Amino acid sequence: MASLTQILLLSCLLTHIASITPASSDYTPKLSKPIPDYVSGTISNKNTLNLIDSCWRTKANWENNRQALADCAVGFGKDAMGGKYGEIYVVTSPADDPVNPKPGTLRYGVIQTQPLWIIFSKDMVITLKNELIMNSFKTIDGRGAKVEIANGPCITVQGVSHVIIHGISIHDCKPGKAALVRSSPSHVGHRQGSDGDAISIFGSSHVWVDHCFLARCTDGLIDVIHASTSVTISNNYFSQHDKVMLLGHNDKYSADKIMRVTVVFNRFGAGLIERMPRVRFGYAHVANNRYDEWKMYAVGGSANPTIFSQGNYFIAPNNPDSKEVTKREAKGWSNWKWRSSNDVFENGAYFVQSGYGSCYPFYTPSQSFKVSPGASVPALTSNAGPLPCVLGKLC
């Protein structure tokens, strides 16, 4: 009679064989109307509100209760409050002074010690003179204006908690220089310089990044490192970049074992190469995302992370050598828990599974959400990126 271990291994093998069976090779993309004009040459599908968007986008008076957005996250970043219990702070100027920021600027708002919900009085492009260091209990809410942080250093979330970044474009970010930068009203510190990430989440918790556009930065688009955890990355549009998303500092930083990240309802668009995400040590639930292409691979990792790919929509590139969704950056990975469930594989894409035993996320009841089948993803991600919200109308 077969042992329990033999049964589990056989089950894993059968699942693995099913997962690497390529889809039909006669794939032809179906074009429809373009998404909003901050990305060109892309396609959209019938508008269907996903679980996050249906929480707030059905209300025409959303601008009268902006803080209600804080109740709408799912996954590990569900409890991120941002500035939910704070006052509204209005950014009126795109100017920046890293040492002595002026009232009305973005930097002045994000460094305050009290909770703040930060909004914008008008469209603006903010070119920061050095990295923007956020304090705890802050929301950056771009709804109602077209807001870009671009062509300079970008956002650092370091050693803080309860941060929400919503509805802005962050692109063409450059490294920050070694210099004095203010991180609170009472503290100015000498920084060693930033790498040029769009958003760097470093030693922080309860962070939610939603409905942003991220592209063309010097280093990564989103890094979650140095034992950061309780993070949700959702409804974002990624485009034109090499190393997209890094979860975990390096292969020796075992403190990242506590990391828990949900990556959901995102659109990985044209011109991306790798790391969607790349994971080390921790746990990543990658669910209901659309992958339009990749040059090297989509989901990768090292140092024995756990990755649960659920209900995603993978469209492989035409290059026959790049059809595999996954890449392990180390040897001896057969016991790593990397699983695929209800994913859709187009144009020959395939996912190589490994390990055995449960890899479900074990969310708390408030964090838990229903993951749709992969076939629903083109509709669920059709509004990824900043939304063209108009005051007094449905967004």
303-340 b/e with 16+ CB inside 10 Å = b?
bbbbbbbbbbbbbbbeeeebbbbbbbeeeebeebbbbb
Q: Which domains does the chain have, with CATH numbers?
A: 69-380 (2.160.20.10)
Q: In sequence order, what are the residues at sequence separation of 6 or more whose Cβ sits closer than 8 angstroms to the Cβ of residue 10? A: 2
Q: What is the pLDDT of residue 47?
A: 66
Digits of tens for pLDDT over the chain (395 positions)? Answer: 444 334 333 343 333 333 333 333 333 333 323 334 444 333 344 568 999 999 999 999 999 999 999 999 999 999 999 999 999 999 999 999 999 999 999 999 999 999 999 999 999 999 999 999 999 999 999 999 999 999 999 999 999 999 999 999 999 999 999 999 999 999 999 999 999 999 999 999 999 999 999 999 999 999 999 999 999 999 999 999 999 999 999 999 999 999 999 999 999 999 999 999 999 999 999 999 999 999 999 999 999 999 999 999 999 999 999 999 999 999 999 999 999 999 999 999 999 999 998 899 999 999 999 999 999 999 999 999 999 999 999 99
Nearest-angstrom CA–CA distance, 51 and 10: 36
At residue 55, the 3 state secondary structure works out as: coil
Check the CA dihedral 51-315-262-153 and report its sign.
negative
Instruction: Report how far residue 351's alpha carbon sits from residue 338's, in angstroms, rounded to the nearest whole number.
Output: 9
Q: Kindly tell me the burial class for residue 6, based on how many C-beta atoms sit within 10 Å of its own C-beta (0-12, 13-18, 19 or more).
A: exposed
Name beta bridge partners: 237. 213, 267
pLDDT at 87: 98
Between CA 134 and CA 33 the distance in angstroms is 37
d(CA 352, CA 115) in angstroms, rounded, equals: 44
Distance in angstroms (rounded) separating the CA atoms of residues 326 and 145: 38
CB 265 within 8 A of CB 237: no
The H-assigned helical ranges of the chain are: 4-19, 51-54, 106-110, 377-380
* CA angle in degrees (0–180, nearest 5) for 2-356-15: 85
Give the pLDDT confidence score for residue 37 in this predicted structure: 43
- Residue 57 identity (one-letter amino acid): R
C-beta separation of 348 from 323 below 8 A: yes
**CA–CA gap between residue 276 and residue 298 (Å, rounded):** 5
At residue 286's C-alpha, the angle toward residues 347 and 4, to 5°, is: 95
**What does the block give as tokens for 308?**
């649960």
The tokens of 364 are what? 């708390």
Strand 187-191 versus strand 179-184 pairing type: antiparallel
257 burial class (0-12, 13-18, 19+ CB within 10 angstroms)? middle
In the three-class reduction of DSSP (H, G, I as helix; E, B as strand; rest coil), residue 363 is classed as coil
Indicate the length of the chain as a whole number.
Answer: 395
* DSSP at 176: P
Burial of 365 (0-12, 13-18, 19+ CB in 10 A): exposed
Would you say 35 and 388 are in contact if contact means Cβ atoms under 8 Å apart? no
Answer for the pair 234, 74: CB distance below 8 angstroms, yes or no.
yes
Maximum pairwise Cα distance, the chain: 75
Token digits of residue 309: 């790919």
Structural tokens at position 23:
């889809």
| 384 strand-pairing partners | none
What count of Cα atoms within 13 Å lies in the side-chain half-sphere of residue 82? 30
Task: Name the 3-class secondary structure at 327.
Answer: strand
Positions marked active-site:
275
**Cβ atoms 30, 367 nearer than 8 A:** no
The whole-model pTM stands at 0.89
Q: Based on the number of CB atoms within 10 Å of its own CB, is 289 exposed (0-12), middle (13-18) or buried (19 or more)?
A: buried
